[in-house]
Structure 1
Amino acid sequence: MSREARVGLLALAGIALFVIALFAIANRSFLLSDTFLLRARFNRVAGLVPGAPVQFQGVNVGRVESVQLPPEPGGQIEVTMAIKEEARRVIHVRTQAQIKSEGLVGQQIVVLVNPPGVQGEPVSEGDLIVGVDPFDLFEITDRALASVQRFEDAANAFRQIMLDVRAGEGTLGKLIYDPTLYDEFVATTNETRRVLNNLANNAEALVALAEEATQGVQSILDKIDRGEGTMARMLNDPALYERLLATADTLRLVASDLRAITGAAENAANWGALGAYRFAELMEAAKHNWLFRRYFEERGYMERAPFEVRERAIEQAYRQLQARMRELDAWERQLQEREARLKALETRLSALADSLAGTDGR
């Protein structure tokens, strides 16, 4: 075989290997498979880059097509994923896109997870699914460092407290290092021992005194049982009980008489009040009689009667209440009109929001 033939065969073999490798890589990254696009939004992506694999239950079902920055500060990052067409049957609109690390220190990947017990409609081209932010190790580290710093501050404070206690400062330091407390405790113990000794020495006298008191009480009870003394007569004499019953009946009769007298006095007071009211009416009528009016005018008694003043005040208060009720009715009508306008405006805003949401979905 000539040299040119060998070179040609070698070139053909290299081209074949290149094509085979190209197809393998393309098939691995789903470049030659039928795919559809899905979108998810995240607050942070933890270093996710285009080309990262997309997995469903540990199986590669697609790749990350693009990672777009938010249109404005504080917005969300939109990640577009190319998913194999055959995975469409296991993905629905409630599926969550979670960003996780492949291994402990591996690259960031997207994992599609279906919440348990949740069903949804099948996804379409370009649908937006829920994005779950990745685990932020730096935030946990910052919190741990803050906790360590607080623990260190607490340890320093406790160390300072122990130094103060060793120096005999503060209440605890004085309790531990001040000998005065020990001296007072010893003195208290000695005083307690002395009191206990005195009690032990006087125990026999106290027992004898208690026995004498018991005998005295027993003697009094014996006299009462025999009917001797005033207390015994009060307890055993039935005549005293009968006299007490008679006295109670007398008091009951007296109370009944007092109630009758009180009722009569109350009736008399009512009749007196009624008579005074009628007399006041007669005098008021005499003021307006043409025969006596001149006399009352010359004496200066033509002022209004108290009941006329009360009636005039009641009438004025009633008029004020009616005016206030009319004002409240007007305010109520105004509030109802404003509420109707607010409801109409809310309906318009809801319709506008629905139309805007439909426009964003398209």
Structure 2
Amino acid sequence: MPSSCARLVVAALAVCGLMAGAAGAQPLSIERFGSFHIGGRLVEVTGKPVIEYTPTVGGAPLRIDPNGTYMVGQMYAQFMVPAPVRGTAPLMLWHGAYLTGVTYETTPDGREGWQHFFLRRGWATYVTDAVERGRSGAAMSPEIYGRSIHLPTVNPWERFRIGDGAGSFARGSVLQGNQFPTEREQYLSFMRQVVARYLDTDADVIAAYIALLERVGPSVVVAHSQGGAFAWQVAQRRPDLFRALVLVEPAGTGIAADAARLKDVPTLLMYGDYVDADPRWSVIRRNARRFADAVRAAGGSVDDVDLPTQGIRGNSHMVMMDRNSDQVAEVVQAWLAARGLWR
């Protein structure tokens, strides 16, 4: 990691820690908030039989003809604007696979999430449910969207670097020093957030994110996991809509042949603990670093922060939900401030 980035992390721990305590102690002042849906396309469905059913107990029978035009690929966005505003651009919070914008709202053990953290520091925040997730709605399957995948309760425990390997969920065992809230009810609270994902919606997701940025204007994008791969690819299509890009454990990359399109998008790449020992996550980070090297070779700037190397230990894949989530957010805040994006 570049020495300048290492010094930044040290400064974040020393200086931003004081700032965090002061900000968290104050009431949160919101000037305005709201929500909207963006993007989407019209799709025609034909050849389906009429559906007859009784929608409620004591209700009248209902006939619905499912043939017709459907709106699909739309995305839900919730915005909050604090008072005063100190971020020089809006801050987007994009979640990962099987999840929704709840990722950033509240942690499984009831603490304030990153949405609160950045609002308290004067950032206008936009929290989205990506296409076909949560309040964005879904579409008929298999007529419009194809195969969907649901996660059993054991999967994130073992795959998101919480438990210490296969069978750890049944044993209730975790990686040493793990920071994710792992008491049974806390973990079940996390699983209540988990939703299905479809495997053929990438084009709709990217189109909706572009529509969001076109509506709001050039922004800072903080993206996690699958959302990180989308963010890199959206930025390659529309670098003019990005003031900076913060990638928290991106699960994929952009298109290597188009790496030069990111040369004017300052980027922070961040991974938590236990990565090197994990056969899957070690490959994912290696691919991300290889892609980051291609961006740098094209004249771009990518700062690579390995949290445990900087003394921030125990982070699972769900960094923004871990017990030390504010400490990690302070590093992000310091990085953005150092780039003149916070006043």
TM-score (norm 2): 0.16
Report which of the two has the higher share of helix: 1
TM-score (norm 1): 0.15
Q: Which of the pair has more CA radius of gyration?
A: 1
Q: Relative contact order: is structure 1 or structure 2 higher (C-alpha 8 Å, sep ≥ 6)? A: 2
Report which of the two has the higher share of strand: 2
